[in-house]
Structure 1
């Protein structure tokens, strides 16, 4: 059986105030073509289908179009809910969907598999929706569920009980933060990297393959436990990470092979660092005019209207940051210390500017303006 593992579509998410709907529709169209070209039998979407618990109407339309397109390839589709989804809203129409599309959002059904069959026999798919301990502990009285680790461990116990009752190969689907994740690959906004939210890898022992969601970059935790990541870049921190999905093959004995399939990137993300004039240079513009741009300018002083100037050259500049490149260590002095040596008004203004600008006083032109303003004030006082 051939499975395509994807996750974290986040339908409805914006990128620095810009809609991602068209870009996501393009990428999901490419994913559908990959399903057709590779004769995929089952598509798994491991949670965070939507970006919000209350998605807008257009998000439902995009999801419906994507599910219908995948179904028309001949593949079966299995969807679980993530922490961004409302399980009730995502799953309300599960019983009304056409045969071959399964939306699994009920924690009480974790141990009941979706059974699909190929020439080698049955494959049992166990969908674990995102489990918030405080919400789901009501379903399992007498079980101590205070953390994600405890809750996922109990869910996987239910899966293993289901495996004992339903012979055949097995695939588990979950949405969580597993131990062993590389923290540089694009963590979800809400992921807490330490303490109680980390699920030990041993929790996932048993199934032939475990399809995880929640992390936005591809990740191989073990040969059979993986994250596919998001199909789009949703932050500049993800810009160097590939987008795609895992193509998983099961044979009669279990996991046979796993291959990565790249997805297209509708618009690249790039971070440009340097003096603002360097970032605005013709050479940089020629290379990155059509990219999403994060500009980190290193001028000693904050520049006037940097975003306006950048967008005149980079129409898709989404973010600008000022990070001065200090060439020498500035001795820390309090504002009171700086004022003690200031006698004249220009000296006091210079002390203030040095204090708020990391030791940088007025430029030559700023000094001229300061003197002009002070001279005008003196003349005005003389006329009173």
Structure 2
């Protein structure tokens, strides 16, 4: 039997304001093709199908279309809820849909009840928030303890089955390396779950961590199929193809398509705009850090002329020593013109005011002084005229 393990689709997510739905749909198209070509019997999605509890209509339509096509391609589909999903909304109609080959597990009631494919028994575990489910599982309110309690139910059922056993779980397992795009699940108890929790299973199909990795033999994160943070630059996104034969499992990574690559660029603006080695990133989503000693004018506009899909722009200017004197000590002995030139230097990142700028400030002060003196003379004249009227 052949099975695909994938997770963390996060349908409907945006990437620094850029929508990812087109990239996600491209992955789902690819997944349908893999199911057909490899004659896959089941697709397991280990949580975070949606990016939010209330997905947009276009996002729901994308999932609906993908599931229909996967079923038509000959695979059954197993969805378990993640911490981004609304368990209630995702699980609506699950008992009816199961008859069509779509198995959705989002509640405690399904723990320990496998999806039996004949060649394998799959135990989908929804995301288990300790503060919510610990009493029902008679467990301490930590991620490790609630998963241990859930796995006890799984093992109790699996003990009577001769076929390979696969567990699906959405959690942070010890040894995993995170990216910037995962939501912290530490609230409600200790976040880390030991790998030993899944001991005895033929395969643990994990979700939550977006970086693909194998933590131990048969304990693997598929990772997200689409990059969702610049910390994922350089990662090869994939799905895991499981080949089950004679009670053993062989795994193969199926590389996911790259809708638009991501890149991190750092350097002086002029160098970034001229370096021919950066041509490969001109169509990428870019994070750009400029190291110019002063902030270039219209920096984003200049960067986007070459890298039009730049999403974030930062500056890494050299740190300046901290002046620990009090404000009174810093301004002591300095006139108004010096203070205004100091302000110019401060807002420009430490570059002193030029002679021309100093002259502009001086001219402004002179105009102010002239206007002030003229006003004083006019006031004195009016006072003198008033005195004469009284006399």
TM-score by length of 1: 0.89
Tell me how far apart the structure 2 counterparts of residues 189 and 148 of structure 1 sit (CA, whole Å): 15
- Bigger mean CA offset, 347-356 vs 313-322: 347-356
1:17 to partner: Cα distance: 1.3
1:331 to partner: Cα distance: 4.9
Contact 1:81 1:130 in 2 (8 A): yes
1:376 to partner: Cα distance: 3.8
Tell me how far apart the structure 2 counterparts of residues 247 and 317 of structure 1 sit (CA, whole Å): 34
Give CA deviations for 1:279-335 in whole Å, capped at 9, x if unaligned.
Answer: 333737743321111111112333433333333433211111111145xx6254345
Equivalent residue number for residue 28 of structure 2: 28
- Bigger mean CA offset, 41-50 vs 333-342: 333-342
Equivalent residue number for residue 56 of structure 2: 56
Q: Is 2:192 the partner of 1:198?
A: yes
Map 1:146-157 to 2 at 5 A.
146-157=141-152
Q: Which has the larger radius of gyration?
A: 2
Equivalent residue number for residue 168 of structure 1: 163
Give CA deviations for 1:139-179 in whole Å, capped at 9, x if unaligned.
Answer: 33xx2331111111111111111212333210000000000
1:259 to partner: Cα distance: 1.3
1:351 to partner: Cα distance: 4.0
1:250 to partner: Cα distance: 1.7
Secondary structure of 2:244's match?
strand
Contact 1:330 1:358 in 2 (8 A): no
Contact 2:94 2:103 in 1 (8 A): yes
Q: Is 2:229 the partner of 1:235?
A: yes
Equivalent residue number for residue 389 of structure 2: none
Contact 1:46 1:174 in 2 (8 A): yes
Contact 2:163 2:247 in 1 (8 A): no
Equivalent residue number for residue 251 of structure 2: 258
1:228 to partner: Cα distance: 0.6
Equivalent residue number for residue 10 of structure 1: 10
- Bigger mean CA offset, 304-313 vs 148-157: 304-313
Tell me how far apart the structure 2 counterparts of residues 86 and 190 of structure 1 sit (CA, whole Å): 17
One of 299, 307, 316 as aligned partner of 1:314: 307
Distance 1:191 1:144, change over 3 A: closer
1:374 to partner: Cα distance: 3.4
- Bigger mean CA offset, 333-342 vs 65-74: 333-342
- Bigger mean CA offset, 14-23 vs 2-11: 14-23
One of 174, 179, 187 as aligned partner of 1:179: 174
Tell me how far apart the structure 1 counterparts of residues 329 and 268 of structure 2 sit (CA, whole Å): 29
Map 1:52-131 to 2 at 5 A.
52-97=52-97, 99-118=100-119, 123-131=120-128
Secondary structure of 1:108's match?
helix
1:64 to partner: Cα distance: 0.7
Structure 1: unaligned runs, 5 residues or longer: none
- Bigger mean CA offset, 152-161 vs 293-302: 293-302
Equivalent residue number for residue 224 of structure 1: 218
Secondary structure of 2:71's match?
helix
Distance 1:61 1:306, change over 3 A: same
TM-score by length of 2: 0.88
Secondary structure of 1:221's match?
strand
1:383 to partner: Cα distance: 3.7
Secondary structure of 2:159's match?
helix
- Count of aligned pairs between the two proteins: 374
Equivalent residue number for residue 381 of structure 2: none
